Chain A
Amino acid sequence: MSNFSITDYLRTRGWRHISIILFFVMVGAVVGGIYVATQRVEYVWRWYRVPQYFYYKDTIETRAEIEGEVASLVAKGDQVEVTVRGDGEEEVYLVPADSLRVDEGDFIYPGDVLGSYQKWKVGILIQGLWLTMAVSVIGVLLGIVIGLFTGLARISSNPALRWSAITYIELIRGSPLLVQIFIWYFVLGTMINAMLAQKGFSQLPPLWFGVTALAVFAGAYVAEIVRAGIQSIHRGQMEAARSLGMTYPRAMRHIILPQAFRRILPPLAGQFISLIKDSSLLGIIAIRELTKATREVVTTSLQPFELWFVCALLYLVLTFSLSMFVQYLERRTAIGG
């Protein structure tokens, strides 16, 4: 009855199954290989040390500042008001009720703990992740604004506008971002801060120059994306709009840009993803984004392997959720959808 042979199986679904298995075998081999290699260099994996850099319990202690006796304990909601009375002095402390460590009548020396409780706090990696997200989002938003106007200038018939746009785009795309960040911080930043100081204003923090560097950098790439997007719209659309009496700016706003936007979206998302990764360079001007934060944790914890993997994973989470979001947007803005 069974005329099902191994060759039939291979011909139908077999190769597909074998390929899938092969993929996982390869992934396993790479991971295993790394693990074995770390054993060679006698690396001890300590994953349990990683979570504290995401969230940790901070112990908060309330300590007495004078010597004396606990004169009274008065409950105030879920807090307790502790009054300590010494010779001629009196101090009042507020302590959460369940953390209270003293009784009425206890004798207290300065530095004694009146109450001690623990509180969850976000760790340095989460702070770094947050900063990375913030600088990337602000950078890309400013970059889109810069890029939109530069892209429009780039295709303008006015030579002054067009050449300015080309100069800007070529300058930015032709030099390394790292160098641009240095210039923004050490050259322009120094100049601007010096001028601000002369006028009696406070200094701008490195973060401002870092975000500016990212925005100006992204702007040049966005400009080219915008230009390509606009030029991909059939010129009949512009002609139809103009022949109805629309001015050039109106035709751009109502006809060309809405259509170009759909085509611009995927490369724009790619640019955003690049910017998230490029923001790791900001560490060199003392902005503690994710990479810099990881580097600091590595120096204190001495667990580089786990932490760099975690760092990469966090970047992946950001970039991957972004591309998911863009796919969703693309589906939603599809014509007729």
Chain B
Amino acid sequence: MVRAENVYKTFYTTHKIEALVDVSCQVDKGEVVVIIGPSGSGKSTILRCLNRLEKADSGHIYIDGVDILDPKTNINKVRAELGMVFQSFNLFAHKTALGNLTLAQNVVRRRSKEEAQEKAMALLRKVGIPDKADSYPDNLSGGQQQRVAIARALAMDPKVMLFDEPTSALDPEMIGEVLDVMKTLAREGMTMVVVTHEMGFAREVADKVIFMDEGQIVEVGTPEHFFKDPTHERTKLFLSQIL
């Protein structure tokens, strides 16, 4: 479903930052892959490369068989198939929850108003806040905003969902409600790539865990492998700090 091959990405600011160094990984259909790693290790960068919000310098990235780094690829078509959920929610501030869910359905998927609204309401019910349909993002709690953001991505009927630390900006008491939505999705067979520090979530639903450090993939394995006997010293060190 998702395949990255030898991906490199370097940022040039005041100095050179090698954010991704020869990263290769694969996510199969229906799989839930959790990416962990210390701050600045390139987790967000690889995720953003997958939908070309960041353009990889070299390597290949295939989404459902389509090479997204090929200039001939219509990236907007690919992105419509990839739902993305951000750490800072990024809900459209001038639209209600319902408006956030219907806009791209109208503009990108060209659905009729009725169809889009029906779909939107069904998804708001699914994430547990149908009563907030007419609220603006500013009037929602963080947990509610993130659930609307997940619903917004789902409204496009994506084949893969990408999550970049979806609970990191939330107050502790709201983390559960967002994770519950994500767990439901995972159980329904959604293909998911999740960057998170929530080890409980990883243990419970991940099929595969990827540990990154300094732009490289250090270790890949099942959750059991990671929590019982990780191979690399860096992994052990990281896990000992976080658990």
Interface residues of A (CB under 8 A from B): 234, 236-237, 239-247, 250, 254-255, 258-259, 262, 335-336
Contact = CB atoms under 8 A, between A and B. Distances in A.
A335 B134 CA distance: 12
Main secondary structure of the interface of B (DSSP, over half): mixed
A115 B147 CA distance: 82
Given A254-B103, A335-B138, A336-B139, A245 B80 contact: yes
Nearest to A245: B80
Interface residues of B, number: 29
A237 B92 contact: yes
A242 B83 CA distance: 11
A277 to B, nearest CB: 32
A109 B107 CA distance: 80
A244 B80 contact: yes
A297 B80 CA distance: 67
Nearest to A244: B104
15 contacts: A236-B90, A239-B86, A239-B90, A242-B53, A244-B153, A245-B78, A245-B79, A245-B80, A245-B156, A246-B76, A247-B76, A250-B107, A250-B108, A336-B136, A336-B138
B84 to A, nearest CB: 4
Interface centre among A245, A259, A335 (most CB of B within 10 A): A245
Given A254-B103, A336-B139, A243 B84 contact: yes
Q: Which of A237, A244, A258, A259 has the most CB of B within 10 A?
A: A244
A259 B90 CA distance: 13
A250 B103 CA distance: 11
A240 B92 contact: yes
Given A237-B92, A254-B107, A255-B92, A243 B76 contact: no
B51 interface: yes
B218 to A, nearest CB: 27
Nearest to B87: A236
A283 B193 CA distance: 67
Contacts of B76: 245-247
B13 to A, nearest CB: 16
A102 B87 CA distance: 91
A25 B84 CA distance: 64
Given A239-B90, A242-B53, A245-B156, 12 more contacts: A234-B90, A240-B90, A242-B79, A245-B78, A246-B104, A247-B76, A254-B103, A255-B92, A255-B94, A258-B94, A259-B93, A336-B138
A259 B94 contact: yes
Nearest to A247: B76
Interface string B79-122: 11111101010111110000000011001100000000000000
A241 B106 CA distance: 13
Contacts of B82: 243
Contacts of A234: 90
B53 A244 contact: no
Task: Give the 5 A-B residue pairs with the shortest CB-CB distance, closest first.
Answer: A245-B80, A236-B90, A240-B90, A244-B104, A243-B84
B16 interface: no
Contacts of A259: 92-94
B91 to A, nearest CB: 7
B208 interface: no
B43 interface: no
Given A236-B86, A237-B90, A237-B93, A243 B53 contact: yes
B152 interface: yes
A244 B108 contact: yes
Contacts of A246: 76, 104, 107-108
A262 B136 CA distance: 16
A245 B90 contact: no
Contacts of A243: 51, 53, 79, 82-84, 153
A254 B108 CA distance: 12
Nearest to B104: A244
